[in-house]
Structure formats: structure tokens, C-alpha cells
Structure 1
């Protein structure tokens, strides 16, 4: 398994826009506490279109970042986006597969992976590969979501069903949309020590309009809506059932709705011996 497994969300321009919106909305939540010292070597794996790279560079302006992705098209978008957002950032871009990274053992002080492991057949194997690239005492930061944590009002079994279709499609593509809950055993099993998991919760209602738009509508619901054709194409649902579920899910973004989701942020250390 390599990073060329089908990316369930696709590579259309709307997905790049969703990733940028998601990063901007969630940066205070997900990047809080992540900053690397001046001169340190930082590897970002699965950087995609650079949505998270911008915040790594912004929060660690004197760190030396190497950003890797298997998609040359995504890397081209990432370069352009970083030039626009953080033109002075020290970032080197590399095209490579996660399981065959062109780096020496213990080459990096820190590694960052956000929304990457959820798309891999063998996340434990990927973590073991990353550990070899970390110096002893170096840190790995991993951020993943868990679609099973989505709780909303008004509740609806039809809305949960369309979320379930996205989960099933991601599994069929070789991923796991419920990976957040597994981070601690995965990291420990790959040989990391001092594993600390911190849930990062998003809660949105009409008193938090920026989160209703930025997360409920433009991140989560947009992600689910994007798999409609695939779900219908393989017979997971009918058009009528899909439309009913999406309509119910959108109620969570109305004035009388609420939406809750949990991300899991893990920091772990490569043991000294």
C-alpha cells in the first residue's frame, strides 16, 4: 500500500477550496501548541495543497520544513499558495511515497502528519517508517478526525446514514474515517513512547456563526456531499434517500441546529534507545 491509494475526497478544485477553508477555520484549534524551534528540521508528510503547511510555517518561522506529497499537481498548488500566504517561509517540496521516503534515518527533529493516516491501508507500517526518520528524542505530531464522533441536533437516522456512506466509501478506498480513536494503540504499536492524545472538539451553533459556516457547512457537510455520485454509483443508497439524509444533516447548520465533532491530536516521542 502506498499513498497513491484512491483519495476518497477527490482532486477537484472544490476539494482544494474545502481543504483551505477547513485549515483556516480549525487552525486555532488544531495547531495550538505546535511550534518548532529555529533551525530544526521538520518533515510534513501528505502535505497536499499546502493548507496545513501555511500554519506550520507561520507558527515556526525559523524552522526548516520539508513538505512531501505523492501528487505533483497538489504540490504545485501548495507552492503557489505558500508564496501567496507566507512568501518568506523556508519550505522544500518533495514528491514521494510515504512508505518510500528519500531521506536518511534520524534525519528529522520533528514530523507532522495531519489527516494522512486515515487514507492508508497500513497506518501502523507508515508510522514505523516515520519513526526511522526521526532522531532519538524527536517528536511526531499526528492529527486525525473520527466521523463516529459527529453529534448533531436535530438528530436524524437519515443524516447518520449519509455520513455512514462516506465512511464506507473511504474504507473501500483503503482508508479509515474512524481512525482518531485508534491513535494511541497505533503509535504505541509502532514503537513510539510518551504518547499523549488530546481531543480537540468543535462545537457550532448560531452563537458561533464562523464555525457554522466554516466547519459545519463548508468542511463537514461539503465533504459528505462530495461523495454523492460515488454512493449512488455503487448502489449504497438511492437519490431520494440521499437527498433526505443531506437535507436533515443541513438542519444542523440552521438557527435551531447544533453540531459537534472531535479531532484527536497525538504527540509522541521516538525513544532514545
Structure 2
């Protein structure tokens, strides 16, 4: 099984992650702020795109951000600046005790998300909290309707599954956290809807986040026979078509919280 990060560690991908985090900061981070002095661990911080917003909302928390990639951590340090302790570590080797955990767009890339959550629970003090944010590519629908665009999204879902992940994991957050033993599990949808009356979302999400994400795996999808070159080009073009004056785009993220007993 291919276990590489399906989107790749490239400069365009780092920019896409930053665009996504900045565009969706209020949507994803609303309701998340940690008290001064509390020990907060961000698991899988990547290039620090979400770390910036965690720090802005909880400037006096003791924030530690970890990632397995040294290259991503170097970019995160440059992006975030002081105020955060960065560590290189694999999720399954993490230790210590924390008051709060923040896990955003990480479980979708793991072959064993249940095992990951069970381990993360051991890092929380009794009464500590976890916040998990994930997307679900099955929630993407748009106008003008396009079977070619849907097929391109389907290719991304299949590539992520082949890498050991699950691009549809948002719908699974409640059973995953419940099975890991978290108490008071709550999940709520955080929906993005973009049309011409919301140009910032059209640019920041539809074009620069979602369509860019799909477009970025095109070479791999064609090389692996999941799509023809012409079919892929048509699908991406139709996704871009949704950013036009009469286009609309909808996507749902899921934000879950739980508590360690």
C-alpha cells in the first residue's frame, strides 16, 4: 500500500494549505480558544497553516506543535514565529500530558485512525479535551453539474484510499471518537457555500483550496489509469466553471470535540 502523503510536499501544496486555513479560519476555529497557561498539543501541524490561527486565538496558552516531516516543520517555524514549541515526532510515539489536543486534517491520511485516537487519549489529563476537524469529499456538490468533475473528485478519493487514508472520514468522527473512549463526544457540520455574491470564498475556497487540491493529483491519477488525460482536463475545467458568475459550490467540514474521563 502506498502510504505517502497524497497531496505531496510541494510549494503549491504549502500555499494551498495556507489559503485554506486563512479562508476558513472563522469557520473552523470559531468556538476554539484555550485558557492562559493551558498545555495544548497540535497533532500534525504540517506547515503551520492552522497553528497561526490557534496561536492568534489562544496567545497565552502553552502551545506545542508536532509533525513527522522536518521540512514541514521548518516552514511552520518560519510561518508562525515565536510563541510555539515545535517538535518532530510520529503521532504514535508522542508522550507527555496535555490539557487539550487539536487535530486538523490528520486522521484522513491515517490507515488506523481508531488506533491514533486511542493513543492520543493517553496524552490527555483527566477532563482534558480533544478537538478534531476533518472534511468529507462526498459532501461536495456544485452547479453547473458535471459528471467529469465528480469523476475527478472520485479519483482523489481513490488515491487517498490507496495511500491508506479516507477522504470521506468527516462522517465517521462520532463513531471514531466514541470507540476510542472519549466522553461527551459532539460533532457539528461546518458548511462552506460559495457563489458570486461571496467572492472571497469563491477565490479562497472553491478555486484555491478545493479545485487546487483536486488539480494537484491529476498527473498521478492519469499515470495510474484512474482517468484519461482528456477526461481529467474536462473535470478540472468544469470545477473551475463553478467559480463563474452563475456557479455555486458547497462543501461540509465536520468539527468534533470530546473529553477524556
TM bin (shorter chain): over 0.9
Indicate yes or no: 2:116 matched with 1:126. Answer: yes
Cα distance in 2 for residues equivalent to 1:57 and 1:241: 43
Give the corresponding residue for 1:49.
Answer: 47
C-alpha distance in 2, partners of 1:76/1:247? 34
SS of structure 2 residue aligned to 1:162: helix
Following TM superposition, by how much is the alpha carbon of 1:47 offset from its aligned partner in structure 2, in angstroms? 0.1
Secondary structure of 1:235's aligned partner:
coil
Write the distance in 2 (CA, Å) between the matches of 1:210 and 1:15.
19
3-state SS of paired residue (1:62): coil
Q: Residue by residue, what CA displacement relative to the aligned partner does 1:51-99 show, whole Å, maximum 9, x if unpaired? A: 000111110010001100000010000000012xxx4x2x111100011
In structure 2, which of residues 105, 122, 142 is the aligned counterpart of residue 115 of structure 1? 105
Deviation at 1:258, TM superposition (A): 0.1
TM-score (norm. length: structure 1): 0.94
> C-alpha distance in 1, partners of 2:10/2:165?
19
Q: Which residue of 2 aligns with 1:100?
A: 93
CA distance in 1 between counterparts of 2:150 and 2:183 reads 36
CA-to-aligned-CA distance 1:212-264 (integer Å, 9 cap, x gap): 00000000000000000100111111111111111111111111100000000
**Gapped regions of structure 1 (runs ≥ 5):** none
Within a 5 Å distance, the mapping from 1:26-105 to structure 2 comes to: 26-83=24-81, 87=82, 89=83, 91-101=84-94, 103-104=95-96
Alignment partner, residue 218 of structure 1: 208
- Aligned structure 1 segments of 4 or more residues deviating by more than 4 angstroms: none
Instruction: Output the CA distance in 2 between the equivalents of 1:47 and 1:225.
Output: 23
Corresponding residue for residue 240 of structure 1:
230
SS in 1 for 2:21: helix
Indicate the SS of the match to 2:221. helix
Q: How does 1:193-208 map to 2 (within 5 A)?
A: 193-208=183-198
Q: How does 1:125-164 map to 2 (within 5 A)?
A: 125-164=115-154
Q: What is the aligned partner in structure 2 of residue 19 from structure 1?
A: 17
CA distance in 1, matches of 2:22, 2:49: 8
Residue 176 of structure 2 corresponds to 186
> What is the CA-CA distance between 1:195 and the residue it aligns to?
0.4
Aligned-residue CA RMSD (Å): 1.1
Q: Which runs of 5+ in 2 are unaligned?
A: none
Q: 2:8 aligns with which of 1, 7, 10?
A: 10
| TM-score with structure 2 setting the length | 0.98
Partner of 1:269: 259
